[in-house]
């Protein structure tokens, strides 16, 4: 029988991997690996709606993968990889989004 601590760890990793199995959420993570962003930045990059991005961010936040911080009326999102050491290895395998970010015209919303 597997010990409680080991099974909790397996369950946590399984939940994280389930969250990251979605292409949109994985792309959000790849973007946040480069820098923190607000929802409107992510909407522009992913060419989707604000409610769609917000739902993905909510799931990632509940999963302990992203952190939000409020600045004035805007909420910025960043990675919270330190809470899940195994996540660092996954992040290291993601392709860099630096060129896409640098080539992107910044949104004036935030």
Domain ranges across the chain: 4-95
Q: Which secondary-structure segment (H or E) carries 37? A: strand 37-38
- Start-to-end CA distance of the chain, whole Å, equals 52
Output the pLDDT for position 107.
Answer: 63
Among 42, 51, 35, 52, residue whose Cα is nearest residue 98: 35
Output the pLDDT for position 85.
Answer: 84
Interior angle at CA 98, CA 95 and CA 102, nearest 5: 150
Output the pLDDT for position 83.
Answer: 74
Query: Tokens representing 108?
Result: 């004036």
Alpha helices for 4-97 (secondary structure H): 4-20, 23-34, 39-46, 50-62, 85-93
CA distance 92 to 47: 25
The verdict on domain 4-95 having CATH code 1.10.10.10 is yes
Output the pLDDT for position 4.
Answer: 52
List the pLDDT tens digit at each of the 110 positions of the chain.
445 556 558 999 999 999 999 999 999 999 999 999 999 999 999 999 999 999 999 999 999 999 999 988 889 999 997 878 888 889 999 999 999 888 876 666 76
Interior angle at CA 83, CA 78 and CA 86, nearest 5: 105
Output the pLDDT for position 9.
Answer: 86
What does the pLDDT look like over 10-35, one tens digit per residue? Answer: 999 999 999 999 999 999 999 999 99
Output the pLDDT for position 8.
Answer: 59
């Amino acid at each position: 029988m597997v010990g409680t601590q080991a099974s909790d760890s397996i369950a946590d990793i399984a939940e994280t991997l389930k969250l990251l199995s979605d292409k949109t959420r994985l792309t959000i993570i790849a973007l946040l690996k480069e820098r923190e962003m607000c929802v409107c930045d992510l909407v522009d990059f992913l060419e989707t709606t604000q409610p769609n991005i917000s739902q993905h961010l909510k799931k990632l936040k509940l999963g302990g993968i992203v952190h939000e911080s409020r600045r004035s009326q805007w909420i910025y999102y960043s990675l919270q990889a330190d809470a899940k050491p195994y996540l660092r290895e996954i992040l290291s395998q993601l392709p860099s989004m630096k060129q896409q970010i640098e080539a992107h015209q910044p949104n004036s919303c935030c």
